[in-house]
Chain A
Amino acid sequence: MQTSEVKIEIRNLTMAYGSYVVMRGINAQVKRGSVFVIMGNSGSGKSTLLRHMLGLQRPAQGDVLYDGRSFWGMDDEARGVQLRKYGVLFQSGALWSSMTLAENVGLPLVEYTDWSACDREDIARLKLALVGLSGFEDYYPSEISGGMRKRAGLARAMALDPEILFFDEPSAGLDPISSRNLDELILELRDGLGATVVVVTHELASIFTIADDSIFLDADSRTMRVQGNPKELLEHSTDTKLRAFLTRGELSEQGATS
Chain B
Amino acid sequence: MVARTSAGALRVSLSGNWRAPSGLPGVEMIRQSLGATTAEKFLEFDVTELTGWDSRFVAFINKCVALSREHQMNFRSDGLPEGVRRLLRLANRVPEKKDARLATSESGFLQKIGELVFRVRQDVLAMLGFLGENVQAIGNLLRGRAQFRWADAFLVMQQCGPQALGIVALINCLVGLILAFVGAIELQRFGASIYTADLVGIATVREMGCIMTGIILCGRTGAAFAAQLGTMKVNEEISALQTFGISPLEFLVLPRMVALILMMPFLCVFADLISIVGGYVVSVSMLGTSPTVYFGRIVHAIQLKSFLLGIAKGSFFGFLVAFAGCFRGMQSGYSAAAVGEATTRAVVTGITAIVASDGIFAVLTNALHI
Interface residues in chain A, defined as those with a beta carbon under 8 Å from any beta carbon in chain B: 51, 54-56, 79-81, 83-84, 86, 88, 90-92, 94-97, 107-108, 111-112, 156, 160, 166
User: Which among B190-198, B199-207, B234-242, B294-302 touches the partner chain?
Assistant: B234-242
Inter-chain contacts of A91 with B (CB < 8 A): 236
Inter-chain contacts of A96 with B (CB < 8 A): 232, 237, 240-241
Inter-chain contacts of A94 with B (CB < 8 A): 235-237, 239-240
Partner of A80, one of B232, B237, B245: B245
Inter-chain contacts of B232 with A (CB < 8 A): 96-97
- Report whether B245 and A84 are in contact in the complex, using a CB–CB cutoff of 8 Å: yes
* A-B contacts besides A51-B239, A90-B240, A92-B235, 13 pairs, CB < 8 Å: A54-B242, A56-B239, A56-B242, A79-B245, A80-B245, A83-B242, A83-B244, A84-B244, A95-B240, A96-B240, A108-B244, A108-B246, A111-B245
**Chain B contact residues: helix, strand, loop or mixed:** helix
Please, how many angstroms separate the alpha-carbon atoms of A155 and B231 in the complex? 22
Inter-chain contacts of B237 with A (CB < 8 A): 94-97
Question: Any chain A CB within 8 A of the CB of B243?
Answer: yes
Q: Which residue of A lies closest to B245 (CB)?
A: A83
Question: Any chain A CB within 8 A of the CB of B147?
Answer: yes
Most chain A beta-carbon contacts within 10 A, residue among B147, B240, B241, B246: B240
Inter-chain contacts of B245 with A (CB < 8 A): 79-81, 83-84, 111-112
Please, how many angstroms separate the alpha-carbon atoms of A81 and B246 in the complex? 11
- Report whether A88 and B147 are in contact in the complex, using a CB–CB cutoff of 8 Å: no
Nearest CB in chain A: distance from B349 CB, A:
24
A-B interface contact total, Cβ < 8 Å = 56
Nearest CB in chain B: distance from A185 CB, A:
19
Inter-chain contacts of A88 with B (CB < 8 A): 239-240, 243
Nearest CB in chain A: distance from B12 CB, A:
33
Nearest CB in chain B: distance from A44 CB, A:
16
Please, how many angstroms separate the alpha-carbon atoms of A96 and B243 in the complex? 13
Please, how many angstroms separate the alpha-carbon atoms of A166 and B236 in the complex? 14
Please, how many angstroms separate the alpha-carbon atoms of A92 and B241 in the complex? 14
- Report whether B240 and A83 are in contact in the complex, using a CB–CB cutoff of 8 Å: no
Please, how many angstroms separate the alpha-carbon atoms of A227 and B231 in the complex? 37
Inter-chain contacts of B236 with A (CB < 8 A): 90-92, 94
Inter-chain contacts of B246 with A (CB < 8 A): 107-108, 111
Inter-chain contacts of A51 with B (CB < 8 A): 239
Please, how many angstroms separate the alpha-carbon atoms of A254 and B239 in the complex? 43
Please, how many angstroms separate the alpha-carbon atoms of A95 and B235 in the complex? 8
Interface string of B266-304 (1 = CB under 8 A from A): 000000000000000000000000000000000000000
Interface residues of B in 212-240 (CB under 8 A from A): 231-232, 235-237, 239-240
Nearest CB in chain A: distance from B81 CB, A:
27
Please, how many angstroms separate the alpha-carbon atoms of A55 and B237 in the complex? 15
Please, how many angstroms separate the alpha-carbon atoms of A31 and B370 in the complex? 69
Most chain A beta-carbon contacts within 10 A, residue among B231, B236, B242: B236
Q: List 17 A-B contacts (CB under 8 A).
A: A54-B239, A54-B243, A81-B245, A83-B242, A84-B244, A86-B243, A86-B244, A90-B239, A90-B240, A94-B239, A96-B241, A97-B232, A97-B235, A107-B246, A108-B244, A111-B245, A112-B245
Nearest CB in chain B: distance from A196 CB, A:
15
Q: Which residue of B lies closest to A80 (CB)?
A: B245
Nearest CB in chain B: distance from A248 CB, A:
18
